[in-house]
Chains A and B, each alone.
Chain A
Amino acid sequence: MSVFYIRRIRTTVWDSDIPANDDPMLLGTNGVTNCCKTDKNQLSVWIVNNNDPDSYETKLVLSTIAGGSEKPSSISYVYIEDSELAAIGVTLKQTPGNTAISSKKNLHWDIEDLNMEKISKIGLLIQKKVYDNNQIHKKGAGKIKEYVRAVFPDGTPEAEDIKSVAGWCNIYNTK
């Protein structure tokens, strides 16, 4: 059974053409330098057990990612299948994610030991997904707030976690 990872992306920076012969070393630099920022040679992704944008699992992960932002905002994202990462030759390790939702930090993984060759391959993989109408997804701030209220109902520890972030303190005051 496949495992997927959600990578939050900035669609506006993937503005160059797909390189000839799919050569990752000829990929334009804007996408990788602005949308694949690494830390300790690691790239952040979030695990999910399907690639259905309307599934509960995706809504849970998007809500968890949103909990790492200062305030509700839109999220553009792609799914990366574990087999695609294996084909690139990268490995992953579970690390605590940057989110206010304490109980969901374990959904976070890092693609580790990256170098210029590997990040270029990942960049090419992401760029192709950004250009593919079936693989690029976007949820607005309104939808994200709706998801957060649904998967972390008011009164739960997760709701208290996200309300502790200043920009989210009114998330459950819908009227």
Chain B
Amino acid sequence: MWQYTDNLDAKDFTTSLYGGSFNSIQSNYQNVSNYIFNAEKNSDSNIILDNKQNNKTDELNNIVGSFESKKKSYSIDFNEIDKLKNFIFNTFNNEEIDFESTPKIKYIIDNISKEVGYSAIDVALINILVSKILLSDTNNIIKFMAFLSSMNDKDIPLTSVLSVTSLYVNKNISVKEKVLEMTEQWENPDMIEYLEMMDDFNRPHLQKYKLEVIEYLKDKR
């Protein structure tokens, strides 16, 4: 059992994961993965989801039911987080998602959150980010960022900060471009310092865009 507290500061959390240094983020990917995987290993999760919609509905009801009794204390069993993670990830995989529209999965998560709380959603998403997304292909990373950008970053403080801190140093120019789009959608000035640490783009239109996003976020202070 792992205790999740609402007053856990996202920066403190990621700083503790990274040993206090944001500069060593990439080299610490594996440490973060191990952190999550070791925690999962200690659970008894053996749930297997299939893609049939009716079974998904049953599965969703089970997930919500299992969280219902515990949401007030925010004590989350990793077995339950695992079920939630699998449900969200399978739903994510089965939908086309881009930055121009609001994906259906966003509304599904909004509904689940009414029962389990956004704290549990945040833990499930950070688990997906670390175990399924960060080391996947560029298109999948961009799709996940499009999904995250549709959500309110204040609802998912751990996932939002970790997604930015882990991806703004990505070597792929498209991933970095989409980090800018994601933070611009969130309109969160707390992200400015990360964007300022992002390496400059060689392409002038992207460098100009980066500076515009930083200015835009400063206006939101």
Contact = CB atoms under 8 A, between A and B. Distances in A.
Interface in A123-142: 133, 136-142
A138 B206 contact: yes
A67 B206 CA distance: 23
Interface of B is mostly: helix
Contact of A71 (B100, B177, B212): B100
B18 interface: no
Nearest to B146: A73
Given A11-B174, A12-B174, A136 B99 contact: no
Interface residues of A, number: 17
A70 B209 CA distance: 22
B102 A71 contact: yes
Contacts of B184: 74, 140-142
A163 interface: no
A133 B203 contact: yes
A167 interface: yes
A140 B142 contact: no
B129 interface: no
Interface of A: 11-12, 69-71, 73-74, 133, 136-143, 167
Enumerate the 3 nearest inter-chain pairs by beta-carbon distance, A residue then B residue, closest first. A142-B216, A12-B174, A70-B101
15 contacts: A12-B142, A12-B178, A69-B100, A70-B102, A73-B99, A73-B100, A73-B185, A138-B205, A138-B209, A140-B180, A140-B181, A141-B185, A142-B184, A142-B212, A142-B213
